Structure 1
Amino acid sequence: MKTAETGRIPHIVLISGSLRPGSTSDRIAGWCAEQCRERGATTRTFHGAEIDFPFYQPGLSEHHEALREFLRELGRADGVVLVSPTYHGTVSGLLKNALDYANDLGGPRPFLDGRAIGCVAVGAGTQGTVSTLGTLRTISHSLRGWPTPLGVVVPHANALISDTALAEPHHREKMIEMVSQVLFLSRAHTTADLVTV
């Protein structure tokens, strides 16, 4: 999906905030990545074990290879999809800590400036996932990103996710719409870059 204006293919980074191998959050991040690739984007998915970084310290990323890779991918991203499990009504500490390292992104696009950000909250009930989604959107704004108009909550997650796909049509449709918005806003941003250069 190159844009006519820039010739660039959007690059989307997807981040799962769960450490449990094969978690619902991991599977949703992988499913969304597949949807992005089917629509012509390139992707990089970080599962929970890959973002199990030390607590944020300014400058630590200069000496930590996994952190440098994470920040390189965020730096070149046109869009980001955040998938968090709901822990006590908010995002996982794992995901929050990883996003704190966006403080180390400098240059012309500090933090997640201008990136489209899709937000997905996963949990065992509606109240907690709605609260978590709101927190993901607040963090995205604070990092200067553009949360998509549609965020997605996935309550009763174990009943909704099969090994290969989103099993519940309503949530599948919402997730596809969110991914489409991430890609649309990513294209808009690459066009704006061309105009302002």
Structure 2
Amino acid sequence: MKILLVDGTVLGRKTGAILEEVKTYIEQFDSKLELEILTFANYEHQIVDGRPFDQYNAGMQEMVRKIEEADGYIFATPIFQGSIPGVLKNAFDFLNPKALRYKPVSIVANGGTYQHHLVVENQLKPILDYFRALVTPNYVYTHASHFDADNHIIDENVHERLQELARVFVKYCALSADLPKTPIDQH
């Protein structure tokens, strides 16, 4: 199974740091999963505006292809102004509605206030429900105080929650293996 760990922002390093930790934990539970970190900052983003897909730049086409071809996902997002970043929502807007169907998904997020964890519940989970993704019940929200100056996670409870998220995600991967996936039409 190919698992895409999606760093859904073009700013900052905390979401990437969280994904590195999650990647390590997933490898401990199932070393056979093929893991790749997809970093939005490595792409020149274009807004979905209705033009034919082949008229978007090569980077956007590659990013969408990678997302649609993966078998499971860890989505990482910062919370800015009480919302997910526009580039993450824009990426979802590119996807075929069947692209994430019955594929396992876990969520990690970080923000500047403790209340912003509700963005995961109120914005990100409904989007993933629309795609009929198999969203794990546990997500991990981190706060700036959970990191040191070099963006390493220093909170032991966060490490424990990330490890548990990885364990549950691997179980969801096994569960999803036998579920029928609907083939999607190419763009």
TM-score (structure 1 length as normaliser): 0.79
Corresponding residue for residue 4 of structure 1: none
8 Å CA contact 1:121–1:130 kept in 2: the answer is no
1:61 Cα deviation from its structure 2 partner = 3.4
Corresponding residue for residue 130 of structure 2: 142
Corresponding residue for residue 47 of structure 2: 55
Cα pair distance change 1:29/1:58, threshold 3 Å: farther
Corresponding residue for residue 89 of structure 2: 96
Paired with 1:47 and 1:185, the residues of 2 have a C-alpha distance of 23
1:27 Cα deviation from its structure 2 partner = 1.3
Give the gaps of 5 or more residues in structure 1: 1-9
1:86 Cα deviation from its structure 2 partner = 0.8
Q: How does 1:15-26 map to 2 (within 5 A)?
A: 15-20=6-11, 23-26=13-16
1:60 Cα deviation from its structure 2 partner = 4.5
The correspondence for 2:169, drawn from 153, 163, 182, is 182
| Percent identity over paired residues | 19
8 Å CA contact 1:18–1:26 kept in 2: the answer is no
Q: Secondary structure at the match of 1:180?
A: helix
8 Å CA contact 2:7–2:77 kept in 1: the answer is yes
8 Å CA contact 1:160–1:166 kept in 2: the answer is yes
Q: Secondary structure at the match of 1:90?
A: coil
8 Å CA contact 1:79–1:115 kept in 2: the answer is yes
Q: Secondary structure at the match of 1:111?
A: coil
Q: How does 1:1-197 map to 2 (within 5 A)?
A: 10-20=1-11, 23-38=13-28, 39-40=30-31, 41-58=33-50, 60-63=52-55, 64-103=57-96, 110-155=98-143, 157-160=144-147, 163=150, 165-193=152-180
Paired with 1:118 and 1:73, the residues of 2 have a C-alpha distance of 17
Cα pair distance change 1:85/1:188, threshold 3 Å: same
Paired with 1:178 and 1:150, the residues of 2 have a C-alpha distance of 6
Cα pair distance change 1:180/1:52, threshold 3 Å: farther
1:165 Cα deviation from its structure 2 partner = 5.0
Deviations 1:1-58 (A, max 9, x none): xxxxxxxxx211111122225x101211222223333422111211131354211134
TM-score (structure 2 length as normaliser): 0.82
